[in-house]
Structure 1
Amino acid sequence: MKIRGSKLTACLVVLILLAGIISGCAALGGLGKKQENVQQTAESQKVPVEVATARVDAIQNEKEFSGVLKPINEAMVIPQIPGKVSKVHVKVGQQVKEGDVLIELEAGDVEQQIAQAQAAYEASKASVELSKKRLSELESQKSKMEAEISKIDKQIDDAQKALAQAKQAIEPEIARLEEMRQKGAITDEQFEEQKAKLEEQLKPLQDGLEKLVQQKAALEKSKLEIESAIKSMPYDSKTLDAQLNQAKTALDAAKGAADKLKLLSPIDGVVSSLSVQTGQMAAQASPPVTVIDMTALILDIRLSEFDVVKVQPGQKVDVYVDAAGSQPVEGVVEWVSPSTDPRSQAYGVRIKIDNSPGKLRPGMFARAGLVLDKKENAVVVPKRAIVRQGDKAYVFVIKGGSVERREVQVGMDDGERIEVISGLKSGEQVVVKGQAYLKEGQEVDIVKQES
């Protein structure tokens, strides 16, 4: 019995030891698994981001302006004397050279045409002389009005000084009366009566001043009426002279009508319009033929005062004409207006475009990309890297495995990239995607590096 009991006890001891060993191994296994889970959790807290490298590069600020293309030269061919068309030598779209015959007119009654031109000249001369006389009278009246206004201005100034001196002269007496009223030497009624008498002395001066002011207003009204009459005149002196010269030229042309029956092209170009046929009248009021030079086209655009100072004649411009394809054509700034247009208050800029291939046509809509600012060696990053908060700009810079939130000063941008003036160096990496989940010191996982 004892032997069997001892064996049973030994078995129990062995079983207990085995249970302890198994329990310890299980505990150690659980601890290892917990440490692995902690490590995985720490790694899962890294924010995935995309980054780009700040680099030194050229950057420019470009603005787009639009308009309609026009020919570099347009010549409206007008007969010097009206006449019936005997022959038409061209058609719309035809290329012509300077001196080519476009239209021939019938000889008709040359003497009658000369007489008509003479009558037109005399009528124009009379009209011009009458208009000049009327314009001279109005300008003389305006000068007189201006002199009268200047004279009355001096009178008003003298009257105002005299009134001021008169007021100053009675002020001590009014002050003395006021003192007597305060002491009871005179009544309020007596004070007001004496004061009114003193102020009554000023009335002639006041009335005189008021009359002068009224006279000035009447003169200024008359001046405005004269200026309005001058503006309503259909032409100024130079235009009237030009009108008379034109009539004289027409008369001289009529006298040499035999040599003026052929309408010649004044330029190399293309016939853009033809409004007459054989047997119809060719008149001066409506040009029968128009010839345009399409070897170069012009694009007139308007710029604000802030943009025009950044544009210079000779500057190259990319011009986009959608109707002619997606590729730009090169244009050159021909001139920049030194003053604003009175209607738009903008500055005119003309761009000249070479059209030797002949793909472009007048009337086509065009867009010009003008480079207004340019910097050759600027630190640039993708525009997406910038985070704005109020009036400040920030970037998240990669530092080891985390980010640093850094304030930067930015400059021009070209739509995709932006210049960083200060706060960032070339070669530093910035976050361009994922900023919304970042904060100072946040650990990140770079999933994409932009070139």
Structure 2
Amino acid sequence: MMLQRISVILGILILLWAFSGCSEEATADKASSDSTAKTSSTKADSAKADSAKVAAKQKRNKQPNPKAKTQPNPRRKNQKPRVAEGVPVKVSVVGTGKISQHVLYSSAVEAEETIDIYARGSGLVRRVLVEEGERVREGQVLIELVDDELKLNEAEAKLMYQKLESQLKRKEELFNRQLLAKEEYEDLKINVEQNKIRWERARLSLDYARVRAPVSGVISRRSVKLGDRIGASTKLYEMVNLSRLIAYVHVPGQGMHNLAVGQPALITTDFLPGTKFDGKILRISPVVDPGSGTFKVTLELESKNRLLRPGMFVNAHIVTATHPQAVLVPKRAVVYDDGLPHVFVVSDSTVNKVRFEMGFDDTEFVEVLAGVKKGDQIVVVGQNGLKDKAKVRIIEGEGLRIPAKPDSTGEQAEKT
């Protein structure tokens, strides 16, 4: 009985102890929850305060500045509304000038006088005095040969001649006094003449040891060097006379009716871009070349400052007709639409695309037969892509354009 009571008491104590532990844990959990709730509430209040400050700042920034209303921007006040500008172009004024039609042929420049220089004597070359490209005068020494033996021969022949000539003078006195037979006197005279000839020959041989230029000109080729042994048939130099240059062109028979001796020609070459030379027809062959069926025409060329040289390839523009007072437009101003020539004529900052009829043309200008008149202002730069009736803005004018040379020639599409 006692044991049962003790067991009941122990059970009650255990229950009390367990209930007491649970209460403490619940109290601790409640305290922790209250602390967390307070912290969260504090953070939320802080976030709300920050949001309120940001909103107030944004509101202040949105409010207009009263000073800005009373002080307007002077740049905006003076600024004018922007308008569309015209296309920038350069223009030229249509003028008149001389232009010619020509036929075009190609050829190479040649020197009319080409001289081959040969030795007149024989021997070893001691000195070469002139090189290729040098200009020489008539009689100038070009080469010297070894001449020691020739000098001795000349001196010996001279001495013999002088000796016999002195004897002849003494014999002549005897002959005049009839103290000497006529036959002996005549034999002595002949002997003197023969020795004079020997002396002259020795002098020539000595002189031939110095090779001289036969005419004035320019050395184009040298074929000998120091130490060479040469003979009378050895070619030493080739020389050209640059004062008279020619070019041969071959003209088909159907083109001969437009050509005559003395007819002018304009000469150009790719070696000297932009440079023009005068020329004229010097000779026309009267016979047809059976191989090509053409006539050979010789042109005489005038070289400015000796710029043209033999061997240069040239274009010969032979003039066949001339218009002295033609209406001209710069060739660069012309645009083609469906193969037809047009120019843009400027009037009151507006361009009109005008078709015109072409006449002669050359490398710089085109003759206008109809459609454009003298004094019109035309676009010369900026016309590519330009439309009819477009607005333009002139940035540069070139004034009245007239060919710089009175013998400006036009092109005809005939080349050989």
The verdict on a shared fold, with TM-score over 0.5 as the criterion, is: no
**Higher helix share goes to which structure?**
1
Which structure has more relative contact order (CA 8 Å, sep 6+)? It is 1
- TM-score by length of structure 1 reads 0.41
